[in-house]
Structure 1
């Protein structure tokens, strides 16, 4: 997946917003909370996303995937695909959707209603 494909995919999810910060990283949010980041790997595209504790343990030491710098060191369950082989584009998209859902679920019920978020997000 390229950075442009990543950005287009994240933009297509409901009620997302995009900012560029942290050294030219593309940061995607649902409501006010981050769910995906592209950047942080010495100029090469790296894709960072939130995961469940089980996925963190299973995928965290797969080739091309690592606990996300900065985030995982603070006890958060985030992974980063930083090199090959990593995940296929389809698998990465699924994990981005799951990250979106995890973050959206963490919003207050009131905030989800304000934003019109229905959990889980329908994908077609």
Structure 2
């Protein structure tokens, strides 16, 4: 019997995933968007109440931006596309593990742009999320 894979990501799952990563802060911006940041730089945004389908926006590598935005359900993030952010309008269409990997990659990308001194003060990077069989 094959176990059903988990799909999507709730606000609680997002908080459990990255809320304790080194240097991560969370706050609400633009009225109702929950923003996770490292070194005061955003790396993932979602509606605070899980509304709008629980959409997720996050930074991706420059060379993956076009590849990802060619996939159904992923578009350039409004206002942030020039910084290579994508928006997943329906996260429930994606594996939770895949979304976790995207979010960790976003954290790593944003953290890499911080000063070397700040990066060193944050300690080790979070471990890559593993998907369960």
Distance 1:66 1:93 in 2: 18
TM-score for both structures, normalised by structure 1:
0.84
Name the SS for the 1:12 alignment partner: coil
C-alpha displacement of 1:54: 1.6
Which of 39, 52, 64 is the matching residue for 1:55? 64
Aligned residues: 117
Residue 6 of structure 2 corresponds to which residue in structure 1? none
- 2:29 pairs, out of 17, 21, 27, with 21
Q: 1:92 aligns with which of 77, 88, 99?
A: 99
Structure of higher CA gyration radius? 2
Structure 2: give runs of 5+ residues left out of the alignment. Answer: 1-8, 129-133
With normalisation by structure 2, the TM-score equals 0.79
Give the number of the structure with larger relative contact order, counting CA–CA contacts within 8 Å between residues 6 or more apart.
Answer: 2
For 1:49 and 1:39, how far apart are their aligned partners in 2? 13
The unaligned stretches of length 5 or more in structure 1 are none
Is 1:123 equivalent to 2:127 in the alignment? Answer: yes
